[in-house]
């Protein structure tokens, strides 16, 4: 079983401290991630969903070591990233890549697409000259872009085309793991579907493992095998995609998110769970269950005791006091 | 993986790029706007004339040795005439020759000061902005120290501490000048750092110095060139001021600043030799300002003329 695990996090936390000026702020640290334990299996897509500010982007950045965790560990193929030295980490960068939300700022405006694709190859491989150009053309083809795209500059492309090139760049070093940080949220719907299908095809072809971050549950449902729902830096529910589609989500937050997906058929009416106001300040999280001020089912215990993430059934975990009552 | 029922996924479409657009480089756009600015073109012409005059001074004047400083007492205080178009000075030297040779000192001083300030200020600004934290803090507090003094006063103090001379004066002015570039580049870098391509470079594993050299610096240089052009005029003005008070190049070598200084005693009766140097300073500073203003407008997409 353990060799099927690609990445594991152990009590991973990341706090952002407000800048200390002349007069120290009364605000505490922003807890972007708190005690996150996640396992990502090889060749699966783990979806991460949550509102803005819930820590999902931070999770992706910490997994790739683009941000250092405050505490806890990221274990990639059995290696603890925090224990690796600078050079070992740089070598490990080949194995994990990222695709960003905004394709328009993902490329250096002064770099041709060829230069952008060649950059990772020049940094980590010995490919030069004709071999390098060949590899770049191959990458462009793999993401469905014509070869003459390589001689062009970022401003000549549409968002969808740029996102394809960003995926090509992420593929350049044959990584095992790719963090997809809202790769489709800047694109219009028809292009979104193309990119999602491209990502699926590439995953099968190159045996990739994805961490797919999104605030859009319908996208997440479509692409993911398992889904982690995050709220204020914590994973509140972990569920397989089929169970989510079948409506087996337990956590009130997940159910509220699900009820917010627009209905395809206008006659079908569904219970709409309304959440009051917006998410609380991550620097001052509520006591007990951090969702309790917005939860329609909040009980007395919710304000006092934080519910642990407990297994409900195979592959389904939830952190809510309702499970026991 | 399962597909959501009821959602048709459109078939995979090969994207087309259409006909190639003409890729205008940023500098080409800037030039297209710049050349429509008449004042800027006049400025460019003035600067070109002064630079060519300084370079080819020995060929342009029949009195190159006077330009370098040899006196010719018998001819002193001659008003402008055919043989001496701008007259002669208090040692009988041809003023046109002096202005041309003085331009060598004044113009090269201006350019060298700005080049040194850019070479010091730009890398420091990029490092401060990219790394942030205590490195940023140290660099920026250092610039604050330098910027707390009026630059002329600080340059005056440094130049007199180092002693007079072309090199020392140049160093003195450059030392007061670099912090402005550090500030400018730092703020540019801070906004650049939020763009994803910098993070993409980090996720590739590109080392910090390479990110700064290949991704940060090329993207922050446009405002630096604009600022540098505007500063050329100011640097020439400050160097003239230091030369006026006797720091900088020493007589008999010519500099526009020391020519004004030498001529000021005779200015009421014989205004031509202080006046000629003064007009030269005035025209170059004005010309650099015209060019810099036009460049600034041309580099700004909102003000750019099309």
Nearest CA distance, A299 vs chain B (angstrom): 34
Contact A288, A279 (CB under 8 A): no
Burial class, B29, CB count within 10 angstroms (exposed 0-12 / middle 13-18 / buried 19+): middle
Report d(CA A72, CA A211) in Å as an integer: 19
ipTM rounded to 2 decimals: 0.85
Partner residue opposite A108 with nearest CB, options B20, B203, B215: B215
Residue A232 is encoded by which pair of tokens?
Answer: 């204020």
Res B21: pLDDT: 46
Burial class, A253, CB count within 10 angstroms (exposed 0-12 / middle 13-18 / buried 19+): buried
Whether A203 has a pLDDT exceeding 80, the answer reads yes
Contact A188, A28 (CB under 8 A): no
Residue in chain B nearest A108 by alpha carbon: B197
Whether A42 has a pLDDT exceeding 60, the answer reads yes
Contact A69, A52 (CB under 8 A): no
- Structure-token match 């407008």, residue found: B297
Contact A106, A116 (CB under 8 A): no
CA atoms within 13 A on the CB side of A50: 27
Q: To probe the interface with A, which of B12, B13, B197 has the most A CB atoms within 10 Å?
A: B197
B14: chain A residues, CB-CB within 8 Å: 144, 146
Res B24: pLDDT: 58
Partner residue opposite A119 with nearest CB, options B13, B195, B204: B204
| Domains annotated on chain A, with CATH | 2-263 (3.40.50.300)
Tell me how far CA of residue A102 lies from CA of A48, A138, A176, A224, in angstroms.
18, 24, 23, 21
Contact A33, A69 (CB under 8 A): yes
Inter-chain touch A106–B196, beta carbons under 8 Å: yes
Res B65: pLDDT: 86
Nearest CA distance, A63 vs chain B (angstrom): 11
Tell me how far CA of residue A146 lies from CA of A110, A161, B46, B159, in angstroms.
20, 10, 50, 61
Find the radius of gyration of the CA atoms of chain B. Answer: 26
Whether A263 has a pLDDT exceeding 90, the answer reads no
- Structure-token match 């099968």, residue found: A204
Report d(CA A245, CA A237) in Å as an integer: 14
- β-pair partners for A7: A40, A76
Res B1: pLDDT: 42
| pLDDT band at residue B20 using 50, 70 and 90 as cut-offs | very low
Sort strands A316-318 and A234-240 into parallel, antiparallel or unpaired.
Answer: antiparallel
Q: How high is the mean pLDDT of chain B?
A: 87
Count of Cβ atoms closer than 10 Å to residue A207 Cβ: 11
Q: To probe the interface with A, which of B141, B200, B219 has the most A CB atoms within 10 Å?
A: B200
Residue range B201-219, pLDDT digits in tens = 988 888 889 999 999 998 8
Inter-chain touch A156–B21, beta carbons under 8 Å: yes
Whether A174 has a pLDDT exceeding 80, the answer reads yes
Q: How high is the mean pLDDT of chain A?
A: 88
Residue A166 is encoded by which pair of tokens?
Answer: 């960003």
DSSP SS3 for B68: helix
Rounded to the nearest 5 percent, the helix, strand and coil shares of chain B are 70, 0, 30
Residue range B116-131, pLDDT digits in tens = 999 999 999 999 999 9
Residue range B210-249, pLDDT digits in tens = 999 999 998 898 899 999 999 999 999 999 999 998 888 8
Phi and psi (nearest 5°) for A39? -125, 130
Helix (H) / strand (E) element for A30: namely: strand A30-41
Strands (E), B51-140: none
Residue A217 is encoded by which pair of tokens?
Answer: 């549950």
- Per DSSP, B79 falls in state P
Partner residue opposite B197 with nearest CB, options A108, A146, A198: A108
Report d(CA B44, CA B189) in Å as an integer: 30
Rounded to the nearest 5 degrees, what angle is found at the Cα of B208, between the Cα atoms of B205 and B214?
A: 95
Nearest CA distance, B26 vs chain A (angstrom): 9
Residue among B206, B182, B236, B219 at smallest CA distance from B299? B219
- Per DSSP, B238 falls in state H
Q: What is the DSSP string of A197-245?
A: HHHHHHHHHHT-EEEEEES-HHHHHHH-SEEEEEETTEEEEEEEHHHHH
Whether B19 contacts chain A with CB within 8 A: no
Contacting B residues, span 215-254, partner chain A, CB-CB under 8 Å: 215, 218-219
- Could you give the percent of chain B with pLDDT greater than 70? 91
The sheet carrying A30-41 orders its strands as A30-41, A5-16, A71-76, A79-80
Nearest CA distance, A213 vs chain B (angstrom): 16
Inter-chain touch A193–B10, beta carbons under 8 Å: yes
Res A26: pLDDT: 58
Contact A301, A308 (CB under 8 A): no
DSSP SS3 for A281: coil
pTM: 0.82
| pLDDT band at residue A2 using 50, 70 and 90 as cut-offs | low
The sheet carrying A209-214 orders its strands as A96-99, A177-181, A209-214, A45-49, A226-231, A234-240, A316-318, A310-313
Report d(CA A42, CA B200) in Å as an integer: 23
Inter-chain touch B202–A66, beta carbons under 8 Å: yes
Inter-chain touch B203–A223, beta carbons under 8 Å: no
Give mean pLDDT, residues A119-138. Answer: 91
Give mean pLDDT, residues A165-188. Answer: 93
Contact B176, B146 (CB under 8 A): yes
Inter-chain touch A242–B2, beta carbons under 8 Å: yes
Residue range B49-68, pLDDT digits in tens = 999 999 998 898 888 888 88
Residue among B8, B306, B133 at smallest CA distance from A194? B8
Report d(CA B235, CA A171) in Å as an integer: 51
- Could you give the percent of chain A with pLDDT greater than 70? 94
Count of Cβ atoms closer than 10 Å to residue A310 Cβ: 13
Residue range A45-78, pLDDT digits in tens = 999 998 888 888 999 999 998 888 999 999 999 8
Report d(CA B126, CA B182) in Å as an integer: 8
Q: What is the DSSP string of A96-134?
A: EEEE-S-GGGSS-TTS-HHHHHHHHHHHH----HHHHHH
Whether B19 has a pLDDT exceeding 60, the answer reads no
Q: Which of A201-205, A213-217, B23-27, B101-105 has the lowest mean pLDDT?
A: B23-27
Inter-chain touch A100–B196, beta carbons under 8 Å: yes
């Amino acid at each position: 079983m353990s060799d099927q695990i690609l990445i594991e996090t152990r009590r991973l936390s990341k706090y952002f401290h407000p800048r200390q000026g002349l007069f120290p702020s009364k605000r505490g640290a922003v807890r972007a991630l708190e005690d996150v334990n996640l396992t990502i299996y090889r060749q699966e897509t783990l979806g991460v969903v949550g509102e803005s500010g819930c820590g999902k982007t931070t999770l992706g950045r910490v997994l790739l070591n683009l941000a250092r965790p405050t505490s806890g560990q990221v274990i990639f193929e059995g290696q603890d990233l925090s224990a690796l030295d600078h050079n070992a980490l740089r070598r490990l960068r080949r194995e994990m890549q990222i695709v960003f939300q905004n394709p328009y700022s993902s490329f250096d405006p002064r770099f041709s697409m060829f230069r952008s694709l060649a950059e990772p190859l020049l940094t980590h491989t010995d490919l030069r000259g004709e071999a390098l150009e060949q590899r770049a053309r191959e990458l462009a083809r793999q993401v469905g872009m014509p070869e003459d795209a390589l001689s062009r500059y970022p401003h000549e492309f549409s968002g969808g085309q740029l996102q394809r090139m960003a995926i090509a760049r992420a593929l350049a070093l044959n990584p095992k793991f790719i963090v997809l940080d809202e790769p489709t949220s800047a694109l219009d719907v028809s292009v979104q579907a193309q990119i999602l299908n491209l990502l699926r095809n590439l995953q099968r072809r190159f045996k990739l493992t994805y961490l797919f971050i999104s605030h859009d549950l319908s996208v997440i449902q479509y692409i993911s095998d398992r889904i982690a729902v995050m709220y204020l830096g914590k994973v509140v529910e972990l569920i397989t995609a089929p169970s989510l589609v079948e409506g087996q989500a337990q956590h009130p937050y997940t159910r509220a998110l699900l009820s917010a997906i627009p209905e395809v058929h206008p006659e079908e009416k569904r219970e709409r769970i309304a959440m009051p106001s917006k998410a609380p300040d991550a620097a001052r999280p509520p006591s007990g269950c951090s969702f309790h001020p917005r939860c329609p089912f909040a009980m007395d215990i919710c304000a006092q005791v934080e519910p642990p993430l407990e297994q409900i059934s195979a592959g389904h975990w939830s952190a809510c006091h309702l499970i026991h009552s | 993986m399962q597909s959501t029922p009821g959602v048709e996924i459109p078939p995979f479409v090969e994207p087309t790029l259409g006909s190639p657009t003409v890729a205008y480089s940023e500098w080409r756009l800037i030039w297209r706007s710049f050349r429509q600015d008449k004042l800027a073109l006049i400025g460019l012409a003035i600067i070109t004339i002064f630079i060519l005059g300084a370079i080819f001074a020995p060929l342009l004047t029949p009195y190159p040795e006077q330009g370098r400083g040899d006196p010719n007492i018998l001819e002193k205080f001659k008003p402008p005439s055919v043989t001496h178009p701008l007259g002669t000075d208090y040692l009988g030297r041809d003023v046109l020759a002096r202005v041309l040779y003085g331009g060598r000192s004044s113009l090269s001083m201006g350019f060298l000061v700005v080049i040194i300030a850019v070479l010091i200020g730009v890398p420091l600004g990029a490092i401060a902005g990219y790394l942030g934290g205590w490195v940023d803090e140290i660099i920026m507090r250092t610039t604050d120290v330098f910027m707390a003094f009026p630059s002329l006063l600080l340059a005056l103090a440094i130049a007199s501490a180092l002693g007079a001379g072309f090199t020392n004066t140049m160093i003195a002015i450059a030392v007061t000048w670099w912090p402005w570039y550090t500030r400018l580049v730092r703020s540019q870098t801070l906004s650049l750092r939020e763009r994803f391509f910098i993070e993409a470079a980090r996720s590739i594993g590109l080392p910090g110095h390479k990110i700064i050299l290949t991704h940060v610096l090329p993207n922050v240089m446009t405002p630096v060139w604009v600022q540098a052009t505007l500063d050329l005029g100011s640097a020439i003005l400050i160097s003239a001021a230091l030369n006026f008070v006797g720091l900088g190049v020493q007589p008999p070598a010519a500099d526009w600043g020391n020519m004004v200084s030498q001529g000021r005693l005779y200015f009421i009766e014989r205004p031509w030799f202080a006046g000629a140097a003064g007009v030269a300073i005035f025209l170059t500073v004005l010309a650099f300002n015209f060019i810099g203003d036009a460049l600034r407008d041309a580099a700004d997409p909102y003000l750019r003329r099309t």
